[in-house]
Structure 1
Amino acid sequence: MTRYQFHKSSYSTANGECVEVAINVPGTIRVRDSKDPDGPALAFTPSEWTHFQQALTTGTFAT
């Protein structure tokens, strides 16, 4: 079984409300809620992750 190494966002609040991202497995990026580490994780390809980050940065999302 693949072991993802999740890291909290540098923007995490003091009470821990944030997302965690794992980039240690080639070809996939996983994102999960830090409050629910055993819950589901979103899966992105590197290209999808890059586009997602760009959309967050610019405030634009494709419809």
Structure 2
Amino acid sequence: MERNSRKLINLLEADGWYLVAVRGDHHQYRHPTRKGRVTVPHPNKDIVAGTLRSIYRQAGWLK
């Protein structure tokens, strides 16, 4: 799992997610076919493991 927010954002965008909002230091992404939003704290070089798992789950990369 990628813990660097910049690299994580690149993975999301490569998977089809696009930026819809920036609120403070959180970037929110949507996908054209999947439900909901994924929020990524940015800039952050070391995302906490629980937050990272949640982002991966929301993106549909974990079950």
Q: TM-score, normalised by structure 2?
A: 0.36
Of structures 1 and 2, the one scoring higher in RCO (CA 8 A, sep 6+) is: 2
Larger radius of gyration: 1
Larger helix proportion, structure 1 or 2? Answer: 2
